[in-house]
Amino acid sequence: MTSSVDSAIVFEGVGKRFDDWVFRGIDLALPAGRTTAIVGESGCGKTTLLQLVNAVLRPDEGRVDVLGEPVPDHGLEAFRRRIGYAVQGAGLFPHLTLEANVSLLARLERWSPGEIDARRGELFDLVGLGQDLDDRYPHQLSGGQQHRAGLCRAMMLKPDIMLLDEPFSAIDPITRTEIYAQFENLRGHEPVTTVLVTHDIREARRLADYLVIMGEGSVVQAGPTDAVVAAPADGLVKRLLESAQ
Amino acid sequence: MRSLVLAIVVALAFAAVPARTADETIVVGSKNFTEAYILGEAVAQLLESEGFVVDRRLGLGGTKICYDALVAGDIDVYVEYTGTIAEAIKNIDGQPTRERLAEVLTPDGVEMLETFGFNNTYALAVSEQVATARGLTRISDLRSHPDLRMAVSHEFLERGDGWPSLQRAYGIEEIPAGIEHALAYQAIADGAIDLTDAYSTDGELNRYALTVLDDDLGFFPVYLAVPLVRVDLDDRAKDTLRRLANTLNDSEMREMNARAVLGGETTVAVATTYLAEKGIVAGDGSSAATQFRDTLTGRLAANTTRHLELVVLALLPATVLAVLLALGIFKLPLLSRGAVYVAGLLQTVPSIALLALLIPLAGIGVLPAVVALFLYALLPILRNTVTALTSIEPTLRRVAVAMGLSPAEELRHVFVPLAMPSIIAGVRTAAVISIGTATLAAFIGAGGLGDPIVKGLALNDTRLILEGAVPAALLAVVTELVFEQVERWLVPGHLRASNSGG
């Protein structure tokens, strides 16, 4: 069980390069059962950092431990199914109905139709999606509905971890406020370890218990949200926090 | 519903596999002009009257295709001309004797039987009126009639063994005008010219009442029609075919051609009459099978079925291979580009050339036709599939991986469904191209709707051409409709290629 692990995700001296180093020497321990926001300007490597968690990318140095174990070399499908994933724009498959998009993984895991329906109904209630939308294709849904469906798809298998890559950035402000509430409702009922990548410090402060502020190629400051807000490590963090006032 | 369609397609594919021909079946070939069709049909009917099972491959596209097919054992017999054997097949100068020809054919496993009796060579023809008025019977007579208005085909005028040599041999000084061969007969009939060149058994010679001048110096090479058979052909069959020896003279062959080209008789009927009148076959020589083949419905059914067989047999494996190949290589940009390039290269080989190139490898008939159609079908399917797969939105690909889909699940649940509209469009294009190209398969004896087209071209018979062209066009339209339906089953409305609306 993961409850004995205080840190769900641990980075130790992690570096990643494509042509040049994106970052080096990252040391982080992200708290279990909480929401962590990784905040930084675009291009600072925050999405790259996120993709090291579910082994879509591999570190060039250092190690990443997830739920107390190093990221495995084999059996990646099973490993990734314990980690929900949602992206900007929702990333729903256009050829599948809402119902089929959300249920896809559960079907592949051979859940019974009853289990699938029950779980989907539970999630739809938590994020405020009506069952009457089941047979719609993504293009027939509003942006807000698509994003909520994306969250449900990520949560379908009751994962241990949920990774969110700028999931709310393409939504209009009013809908966004609504979705924040639904997201918090979901998290309140299912306190899964969540890592949220965002460039929006307001969003981070609103949703996250723990902040990781990234500058170019390194972590500038990491800690509980209150602590970071109370004592910014340097001018950059201070300016970032002030920009949100 | 889908499984029903699948079952039908699979059943069609199996039904399309040609039944293995029994050992005693004799395959009769022929070239694709009127006389060749008549004589090929006569050979076939004669063999059938003696109880042999005959497979007709009439209308093969030329000397090379026929002879190669005979040597390869794809056909057992076809009618050739001695002059063609000497000049075109064996490159022998002068006029070799019968024994010499037999000698050079033996190494190929080919035996030459006795001649039909007529000589289909070049000839000079004048209108009967002019011939009578001036007393012309021989080419030598032309020397004393320099005022004749002469026009010969451009080819005959230029060829080394044409007019220039004839002029020297006969001592004729005049140089004729050049004229398109097809127009020459009408020009003589209208009295615009007095003399032209012809083939000595052309049916038109009878229709336009022309007199053929005797080649009294023996200038023109001899083109005696002879059945060429494989040495290993059943002896009883060879003996049967010897009954055709010396049964036709030039004017009789000319008369038969005229009835087929101008008199509206089918080549099958002309052949039947010939065998009966000459007492080669007692009574009506045509078997029940021949009768059936010779009704319009029978021909339409047989040709359309064969046409569909060719297309389906080529399209199914091409679809499977091209889609699998595309799925295997679309993540490797260099390899995908290479494969699409190679398939495109295949597409540029002219179909007739490809069919001819395939004869040494696959013989004649259904197999090489299917192979050629298969190769042509690869490109549209491969290119469409690769393009569709590589243009899938990167976010969706990333989500599929991050969700924990295995490569197989990715293909099954994401890539293939998203590429499906393009795959169907590719197969549809390939199918329509195949239906068109399959008409050319008649040149290598594969049959299908190209058969009446090729024959109609040879006999200058528009009705016959339409008998192939109209069903082929209808087939293409039906194919479009079928694929629209298939797309409706496999692709949700908003993703359909044929439907831009929601």
Which member of B402, B418, B495 has the closest CB to residue A80?
B402
Chain B within 8 Å of A93 (Cβ-Cβ)? Answer: yes
Contact yes or no for B402 and A56 at CB 8 A? yes
Contact yes or no for A81 and B404 at CB 8 A? yes
Which residues from chain B sit within 8 angstroms of residue A141, using beta carbons?
none
Torsion of CA A18, A21, A27, A29, to 10 degrees: -30
Torsion of CA B497, B500, B501, B502, to 10 degrees: 40
Q: Is B153 exposed, middle or buried (0-12, 13-18, 19+ CB in 10 A)?
A: buried
CB atoms within 10 A of CB A168: 22
Alpha-carbon span B28 to B4, nearest angstrom: 39
Contact yes or no for B395 and A56 at CB 8 A? no
Chain B within 8 Å of A163 (Cβ-Cβ)? Answer: yes
Bin B127: left if φ > 0, else alpha if -120 < ψ < 50, else beta.
Answer: beta
Which residues from chain B sit within 8 angstroms of residue A159, using beta carbons?
none
B301-to-A71, B242, B389 alpha-carbon distances in Å: 65, 34, 40
What's the pLDDT tens digit per position in A95-137? 999 999 999 999 999 999 999 999 999 899 888 888 888 889 9
Chain B within 8 Å of A227 (Cβ-Cβ)? Answer: no
Contact B194, B241 (CB under 8 A): no
CA of A74: which chain B residue's CA is closest? Answer: B406
Give the minimum alpha-carbon distance from A4 to chain B in angstroms, rounded to a whole number: 25
Can you give the pLDDT at residue B7? 53
Element (H, E) at B109: none
Which residues from chain B sit within 8 angstroms of residue A89, using beta carbons?
395
Which residues from chain A sit within 8 angstroms of residue B418, using beta carbons?
93-95
What's the pLDDT tens digit per position in A134-146? 889 999 988 888 9
CB atoms within 10 A of CB A139: 11
Contact yes or no for A80 and B414 at CB 8 A? no
Chain B within 8 Å of A135 (Cβ-Cβ)? Answer: no
B444-454 exposure pattern, b = at least 16 Cβ within 10 A, e = fewer: bbbbbbbbbbb
CA of A163: which chain B residue's CA is closest? Answer: B402
Contact yes or no for B492 and A87 at CB 8 A? no
Chain B within 8 Å of A74 (Cβ-Cβ)? Answer: no
CA of B393: which chain A residue's CA is closest? Answer: A91
The token duo for A223 is: 């800690």
What's the pLDDT tens digit per position in A203-214? 898 899 999 998
Residues 3 to 62 of A: which have CB under 8 A from any B CB? Answer: 51, 54, 56
Alpha-carbon span B373 to B436, nearest angstrom: 10
Alpha helices in chain A (DSSP H): 46-53, 76-81, 98-108, 113-127, 143-155, 173-189, 201-207, 225-230, 235-243
Which member of B398, B404, B494 has the closest CB to residue A77?
B404
Point out which residues pair with A215 in neighbouring strands.
Answer: A218
Q: Is B421 exposed, middle or buried (0-12, 13-18, 19+ CB in 10 A)?
A: buried
B381-to-B6, B106, B334, B386 alpha-carbon distances in Å: 19, 46, 18, 8
| Selection from B316, B331, B319, B311 nearest residue B382 by Cα | B319
Chain B within 8 Å of A206 (Cβ-Cβ)? Answer: no
What's the pLDDT tens digit per position in A164-220? 998 887 778 788 888 888 888 888 888 899 999 998 888 898 899 999 998 888 888
Q: What is the mean pLDDT of chain A?
A: 88
Number of H helices, E strands in chain A: 9, 10
Contact yes or no for B402 and A163 at CB 8 A? yes
Q: Return the number of CB contacts < 8 Å for A and B.
A: 62
Can you give the pLDDT at residue B15? 46
Contact yes or no for B404 and A56 at CB 8 A? no
B120-145 exposure pattern, b = at least 16 Cβ within 10 A, e = fewer: bbbbbbbbeebbeebebeebbbbeeb
Can you give the pLDDT at residue B16? 44
Which residues from chain B sit within 8 angstroms of residue A158, using beta carbons?
none
Contact yes or no for B399 and A87 at CB 8 A? yes
Give the minimum alpha-carbon distance from B393 to chain A in angstroms, rounded to a whole number: 9
Interface of B with A (CB under 8 A): 395-396, 398-399, 401-406, 409, 413-414, 417-418, 420, 491-492, 494-495, 502
Q: Which of B389, B392, B393, B399 best tests the A interface by mutation, with the highest count of A CBs <10 A? A: B399
Contact A226, A241 (CB under 8 A): no
Which residues from chain A sit within 8 angstroms of residue B403, using beta carbons?
80-81, 85, 104-105, 153
Q: Which residue has the tokens 């040709």?
A: B303
CB atoms within 10 A of CB A75: 8
Contact yes or no for B398 and A77 at CB 8 A? no
pLDDT in tens, chain B (502 residues): 455 555 555 544 444 444 434 457 999 999 988 899 999 999 999 999 999 999 989 888 888 889 999 998 989 999 999 988 988 888 887 788 888 999 999 999 999 999 999 999 988 999 988 999 999 999 999 998 989 999 988 878 877 678 888 888 898 888 888 887 767 888 888 888 999 998 889 888 888 889 999 899 888 888 999 999 999 999 999 999 999 999 999 989 999 998 988 877 888 999 999 999 988 887 554 554 455 556 888 889 989 999 999 999 999 999 999 999 999 888 888 888 888 888 888 888 888 888 878 877 887 788 889 999 999 999 899 999 998 998 888 889 889 999 999 989 999 999 999 999 999 999 999 999 999 999 988 888 888 999 888 888 777 778 888 999 999 999 999 999 999 999 888 888 788 875 543 3
- Cα dihedral A121, A125, A128, A131 sign: positive
Which residues from chain A sit within 8 angstroms of residue B409, using beta carbons?
77, 108
Chain B within 8 Å of A91 (Cβ-Cβ)? Answer: yes
Contact B381, B423 (CB under 8 A): yes
What pTM, to 2 d.p., does this model score?
A: 0.72
Which residues from chain B sit within 8 angstroms of residue A80, using beta carbons?
401-404
Which member of A77, A95, A108 has the closest CB to residue B495?
A95
Which residues from chain B sit within 8 angstroms of residue A54, using beta carbons?
402
Contact A189, A126 (CB under 8 A): yes
Can you give the pLDDT at residue B344? 84
Contact yes or no for A85 and B402 at CB 8 A? yes
Q: Which of A80, A88, A93 best tests the B interface by mutation, with the highest count of B CBs <10 A? A: A93
The token duo for B315 is: 């399209």
Contact B227, B43 (CB under 8 A): yes
Can you give the pLDDT at residue B2? 52
Q: How many residues does chain A have?
A: 245
CA of B399: which chain A residue's CA is closest? Answer: A91
Does the structure show a pLDDT above 60 at A237? yes
Contact B44, B30 (CB under 8 A): no
> Angle, nearest 10°, between helix axes B462-490 and B450-459?
160
